[in-house]
């Protein structure tokens, strides 16, 4: 049994398959035969019809529409599949990971060793979107008198939370937000907050502004320090590294800093995924995605890590702060609010302001100066 995911990217058509709720998507060389929809080989199909219609691919569109007629479209099928899947897990703890930024690193640090990690595009849609079929299922749910831990990342589906609380009244449920709250999500977020606070569900956010506005506990993004021990590297290969996905805003913030690093004659490693060119300010740019483990190795091999705010200056701190300081790497950042943090120290963090000239000599001095030890328990989740 497989979940099929059909989607388009840069004008190309892709099809993947995976086990329902578990594991990663695996690319398929071709669209499966129509007969697979009538067999048990295809459990459900995930697609967005408007994007498929734009392809004008008759076979592809017919395949998608037939899956809908056969009630194998994911919104029709997934709720009952989920109920059956969870029944098989019995007392095992659950870790629901949605489509949040940095899903792999969140799982690396926050998922516990024996958690059943519920993931995949079908899970993302359950977590991030309302589902009428799931809503109808709630009245049929029979509560399970089992104690377990359920951790949900980036939840915006009131139905899923209601369903899980009814199915597992004794469960220790925690909802965690690792990304900025967008205005379009406030309605669902407010409902989830109110339901959580009145139903013994732990909820927390990664940024101070959302915490203050909605009266929800704030907790900065932390790391599993016991796992990061394996990546500690005393020998530094690079002076500075920057590892991120490309965006135009990031490029604008990065250029003046890279210009100063160039004048300082520093060895800089840049990994900018999907950047359209091979160089930026005369520095070579690697553009391919690397595993999170290799990302950590690059960070550990660098004297300092560049960390730039992504969507707003007051957003929560990225994982780079906790990662870098745990790996004994310094931080170069435009997050001026970090100056007020108890873990800030000029020996650990070089803070620059947008629009102000960056002194190359000041950066060189920062990099060669001894780094004052930091209390790493501030960033630690403990061990999983």
Query: For the chain, what are the domain ranges?
Result: 2-72, 78-214, 225-379
- Surface-to-core class of residue 208, CB atoms within 10 Å of its CB (0-12 exposed, 13-18 middle, 19+ buried): middle
* pLDDT in the model for residue 101: 57
Kindly state the tokens that stand for 131.
């589902």
Sheet containing 42-46, strands listed edge to edge, beginning at the edge strand earlier in sequence:
26-27, 12-18, 2-9, 42-46
Residues 313 and 308: their CA atoms lie apart, in Å, by: 9
* pLDDT in the model for residue 242: 96
Q: Cβ neighbours of residue 213 under 8 Å, at least 6 residues apart?
A: none
- For CA atoms 92, 127, 21, 26, the dihedral sign is negative
**Superfamily the domain 225-379 falls into:** Glycogen Phosphorylase B; (3.40.50.2000)
* pLDDT in the model for residue 153: 94
Closest CA to 157 of 68, 79, 73, 43: 79
* pLDDT in the model for residue 128: 87
Taking CA atoms, 91 is separated from 129, 344, 379, in Å, by 26, 42, 30
Residues 384 and 313: their CA atoms lie apart, in Å, by: 32
* pLDDT in the model for residue 195: 97
Element (H, E) at 173: strand 172-177
Residues 174 and 282: their CA atoms lie apart, in Å, by: 46
Residues 280 and 99: their CA atoms lie apart, in Å, by: 29
Most distant pair of Cα atoms in the chain: their distance: 68
* pLDDT in the model for residue 376: 87
Beta strands in 276-383 (DSSP E): 279-280, 283-286, 302-307, 330-333, 349-351
Q: pLDDT by residue for the chain (384 residues), tens digit each?
A: 699 999 998 888 999 999 999 988 899 999 999 999 998 889 999 999 999 999 999 999 999 999 999 999 988 888 889 999 999 999 999 999 965 557 888 999 999 989 999 998 888 888 988 888 888 899 999 999 999 999 999 999 999 999 999 999 999 999 999 988 999 999 999 999 999 999 999 999 999 999 999 999 999 999 999 999 989 877 899 999 999 989 888 899 999 999 999 999 999 999 999 899 999 999 999 998 888 999 999 999 999 999 998 888 889 999 999 999 999 999 999 999 999 999 999 999 999 987 788 999 999 999 999 999 999 889 998 665
Closest CA to 20 of 3, 45, 4, 33: 3
Check: CB of residue 3 under 8 Å from CB of residue 72.
no
Kindly state the tokens that stand for 123.
């899970």
* pLDDT in the model for residue 384: 58
Check: CB of residue 238 under 8 Å from CB of residue 303.
yes
Instruction: Please state the φ and ψ torsions of residue 133, each to the nearest 5 degrees.
Output: -65, -40
Closest CA to 80 of 34, 122, 23, 26: 122
Distance of CA 40 to the CA centre of its chain: 32
Check: CB of residue 87 under 8 Å from CB of residue 26.
no
* pLDDT in the model for residue 307: 96
Q: Cβ neighbours of residue 287 under 8 Å, at least 6 residues apart?
A: 246, 271, 272, 273, 274, 275, 278
Kindly state the tokens that stand for 14.
């892709």
């Amino acid at each position: 049994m497989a979940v099929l995911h059909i989607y388009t990217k840069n004008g190309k058509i892709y099809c993947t398959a995976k086990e329902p709720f578990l594991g990663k998507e695996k690319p398929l060389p071709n669209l499966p035969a129509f007969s697979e929809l009538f067999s048990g080989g295809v459990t459900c199909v995930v697609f967005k019809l408007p994007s498929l219609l734009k392809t004008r691919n008759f076979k592809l569109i017919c395949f998608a529409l037939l899956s809908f007629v056969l009630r194998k479209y994911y919104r029709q099928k997934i709720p009952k599949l989920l109920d059956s899947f969870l029944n098989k897990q019995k007392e095992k703890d659950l870790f629901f990971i949605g489509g949040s930024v940095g899903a792999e690193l969140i799982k690396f640090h926050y998922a516990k060793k024996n958690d059943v990690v519920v993931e995949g595009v079908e899970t993302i849609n359950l977590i991030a979107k309302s589902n009428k079929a799931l809503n109808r299922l709630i009245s049929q749910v029979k509560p399970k008198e089992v104690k377990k831990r359920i951790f949900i990342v980036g939840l915006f589906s009131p139905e899923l939370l209601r369903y899980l609380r009814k199915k597992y009244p004794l469960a220790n449920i925690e909802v965690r937000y690792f990304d900025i709250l967008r205005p379009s999500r406030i309605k669902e977020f407010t409902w989830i907050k109110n339901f959580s606070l009145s139903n013994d569900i732990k909820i927390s956010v990664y940024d101070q502004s959302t915490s203050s506005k909605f009266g929800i506990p704030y907790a900065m993004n932390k790391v599993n320090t016991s796992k990061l021990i394996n990546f500690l590297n005393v020998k530094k290969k690079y002076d500075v590294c920057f590892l991120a996905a490309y965006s135009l805003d990031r490029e604008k913030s990065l250029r003046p800093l890279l210009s100063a690093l160039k004048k300082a004659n520093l060895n800089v490693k840049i990994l900018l995924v999907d950047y359209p060119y091979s160089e930026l300010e005369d520095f070579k740019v690697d553009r391919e995605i690397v595993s999170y483990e290799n990302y950590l190795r690059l960070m550990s091999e660098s004297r300092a890590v560049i960390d730039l705010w992504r969507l707003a200056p007051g957003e929560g701190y990225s994982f780079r702060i906790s990662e870098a300081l745990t790996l004994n790497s310094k931080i170069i950042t435009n997050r001026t609010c970090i100056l007020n943090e108890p873990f800030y120290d000029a020996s650990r963090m070089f803070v620059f302001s947008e629009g102000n000239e960056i002194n190359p000599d000041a950066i060189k001095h920062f990099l060669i100066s001894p780094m004052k030890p930091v209390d790493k328990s501030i960033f630690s989740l403990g061990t999983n």
